[in-house]
Amino acid sequence: MNCRHNDELEHFVTEAKKVTVKGKVASYIPALAEQSGDDLSVAVYYTDGTCLSAGDVKEVFTLQSISKVLALALVLMEHGPEKVFHFVGKEPTGDPFNSIIKLETVNPGKPLNPMINAGALVVTSMMKGSTSSERIGRLLEFVRALANNRSISVCKKVAESEFQTSMVNRAMCYYMKEHGIFQAEVEDVMDLYTKQCAIEMNSLDLAKIGCVFALNGKHPETGEQLIPKDIARICKTFMVTCGMYNASGEFAIKIGIPAKSGVSGGIMGLVPYSFGIGIFGPALDEKGNSIAGIRLLELLSENYSLSIF
């Protein structure tokens, strides 16, 4: 894809990069600890197909929690909102993304929303397909269509690394299974979930997917309606209320755009009807969001009045 380097954007990247020293690369998934903490790149993909970038936008990273929005879109398309929201709620938690506490204290077994790990695991457990490889194949096809890039695939090393270590996610799965929230085998769900989180792309691909959401599910290049409008709207709303984990409220006030982050340091954002943004900056703040990515969005939002509110 043709994406032009932009000096103004580079200036903001240089400024935002200064905060990377205060952040830390995720290490609870061992393979992610190998990422370099001082990286920062951004791509902005406009609805007319033009694209601006700064930093090394060719660098690939895994989606991690950003995949939760894409899996949600697919599962909502497969089952419809009524069925999906029977098993997962629509409310923010105010807790860290991997917290287990409200599974017991609120609506036992039913996670509060699909952007926290518990809720995302339920969504993943609902994905259609008779085998694990068929399911990840369907999700990959969907993600490739969203990015209009056939070469997107799963990083086996990161998937394997998370699969070997993800005991809290397993614990949540067993707890929810006990409460009848899903019937699937926990190891099958974990296999699919860790592969889903390990889908790998660069910030250009991510910006383009953001742009599909900015256009209510319509692809900016192909014109194809890949996600029905009402489902794109649900996904964007979750991005605003829960997309940045338990920093979503502050993010909405300071930056004010739908966005979803992942612990690899990716952030996908969008400004409705204007553009999608893809950011990669692996050093994270204490809530698990890209520290320089947030700073960069703050600078962009201030300078270009991006807030939708």
Give the residues lining the site for ligand GLN (CB under 6 A).
Answer: 64-65, 97-98, 117, 162, 169, 197, 262-263, 288
Residue (36 or 222) nearer to ligand GLN, CB: 36
**Which residue is catalytic, options 53, 65, 132, 261?**
65
Say whether 273 counts as a known binding-site residue: no
DSSP string, 200-240: EEEHHHHHHHHHHHHTTTB-TTT--B-S-HHHHHHHHHHHH
Say whether 15 counts as a known binding-site residue: no
Which residues, other chains included, contact 27 with Cβ-Cβ below 8 Å and sequence gap of 6+? 33
Measured N-to-C along each axis, helices 186-197 and 67-79 cross at an angle, to the nearest 10 degrees, of 120
Residue (162 or 205) nearer to ligand GLN, CB: 162
Which residues, other chains included, contact 160 with Cβ-Cβ below 8 Å and sequence gap of 6+? 31, 194
| 88 is a catalytic site residue | no
Which residue's C-beta sits nearest to ligand GLN?
Answer: 65
**Which residue is catalytic, options 42, 53, 68, 143?**
68
Whether the CA torsion 267, 66, 23, 118 is positive or negative: it is positive
Q: Are 207 and 47 in contact (CB under 8 A)?
A: no
| 68 is a catalytic site residue | yes
Residue (117 or 248) nearer to ligand GLN, CB: 117
d(CA 222, CA 220): 6
Classify 15 as helix, strand or coil: helix
Say whether 193 counts as a known binding-site residue: yes
Residue (98 or 307) nearer to ligand GLN, CB: 98
- Of residues 227, 229, 228, 213, the one with CA closest to residue 274: 213
Say whether 245 counts as a known binding-site residue: yes
Say whether 304 counts as a known binding-site residue: no
| 65 is a catalytic site residue | yes
**Which residue is catalytic, options 88, 245, 248, 264?**
245
| 193 is a catalytic site residue | yes
Q: CB 10 → ligand GLN: shortest distance, Å? A: 27
Return the active site residues: 65, 68, 193, 245, 263
- Detail the residues annotated as belonging to a binding site for substrate: 65, 117, 162, 169, 193, 245, 263
- Detail the residues annotated as belonging to a binding site: 65, 117, 162, 169, 193, 245, 263
